[in-house]
């Protein structure tokens, strides 16, 4: 079973016409939709935005919500010219080692792989990752949060401290995050993560997969979707489906191909 660990996010959106909207966001809700659509067993372990947990449950997986002293708030302002301003307006309560060995422990005990979706750099820190690693579960980590130091405009920032990924088995970066955190996209740069398997997504250009010791990453071509506009949550869905494919025994390149195909099927429904 796949466990999806991450904050439930309050997304505050101001549209180009001035209309305001609040909706449920965060890695777990998009990842849960992907696993549910694929019929893959999973569970969500989350905190924050208590009023939005119904939306997380509606994604189709069981939800364990832990105690929280705050909610992560993402604020997005859309402009008529297509430009958008994105900022982190509030930070939630980070996940600690005590959380993973306490209120979340019994749920994690049923998981073989844990997908960690972060929102900012201190969301799931090194102590929490080491505690998770000691449980013996495979850890698949989405590095989005590592490129976000804290409050303010969302602009990928680095460099990476390898301690932030201690005990992680797989890490996924977007290409912008890899440039900011690792300083590039070649094998030398990807090795700086200090993780056995590194995946870098390139949006409509596919994804690169690299294993420690490889001379260069392998490019996996994308599944094209005509007239696609809405890709919100695609990275979270990809990470969850990639983790599930590894859990089922796929090699990393095959897992990337399966995850890409799964995301394409979901996004095609939005086109």
Q: What is the mean pLDDT of residues 233-248?
A: 93
Reported confidence tier of residue 225, pLDDT bands at 50, 70, 90: low
List Cα–Cα distances, 73 to 76, 88, 211, 270, in angstroms. 10, 6, 35, 25
- Write out the two tokens for 196: 């056995």
Burial 76-111 (b: 16+ CB within 10 A, else e): bebeeeeeeeeebeebbbbbebebbeeebeebbeeb
Write out pLDDT tens, residues 38-61: 999 999 999 999 999 999 999 999
Domains belonging to the chain, first-starting first, are 2-8+30-67+96-268 (3.40.1190.20)
Write out pLDDT tens, residues 139-188: 999 999 999 999 999 999 999 999 999 999 999 999 999 999 999 999 99
Reported confidence tier of residue 69, pLDDT bands at 50, 70, 90: very high
Element spanning 268, H or E: helix 252-268
Rounded Cα–Cα distance for residues 132 and 103 (Å): 13
């Amino acid at each position: 079973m796949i466990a999806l660990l991450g904050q439930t996010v309050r997304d505050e959106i101001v549209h180009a016409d001035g209309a305001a909207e609040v909706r449920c966001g965060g890695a777990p809700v998009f990842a849960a939709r992907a696993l549910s659509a694929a019929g893959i067993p999973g569970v969500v372990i989350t905190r924050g935005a208590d009023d939005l947990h119904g939306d997380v449950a509606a994604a189709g997986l069981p939800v364990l919500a832990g105690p929280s002293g705050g909610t992560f708030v993402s604020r997005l302002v859309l402009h008529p010219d297509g430009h958008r301003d994105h900022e982190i307006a509030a930070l939630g309560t980070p996940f600690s080692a005590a959380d993973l060995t306490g209120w979340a422990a019994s749920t994690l005990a049923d998981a073989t792989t844990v997908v960690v979706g972060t929102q900012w750099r201190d969301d799931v820190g090194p102590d929490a990752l080491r505690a998770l690693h000691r449980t013996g579960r495979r850890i698949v980590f989405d590095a989005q949060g590592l490129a976000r130091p804290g409050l303010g405009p969302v602009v990928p920032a680095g460099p990476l401290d390898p301690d932030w990924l201690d005990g992680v088995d797989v890490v996924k970066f977007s290409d912008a995050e890899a440039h900011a955190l690792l300083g590039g996209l070649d094998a030398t740069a990807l090795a700086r993560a200090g993780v056995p398997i590194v995946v870098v997504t390139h949006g409509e250009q596919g994804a690169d997969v690299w294993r420690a010791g490889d001379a260069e990453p392998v490019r996996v071509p994308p599944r094209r979707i005509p007239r696609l506009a809405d890709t919100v949550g695609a990275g979270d869905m990809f990470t969850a489906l990639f983790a599930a494919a590894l859990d089922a025994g796929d090699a990393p390149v095959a897992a990337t191909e399966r995850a890409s195909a799964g995301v394409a099927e979901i996004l095609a429904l939005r086109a």
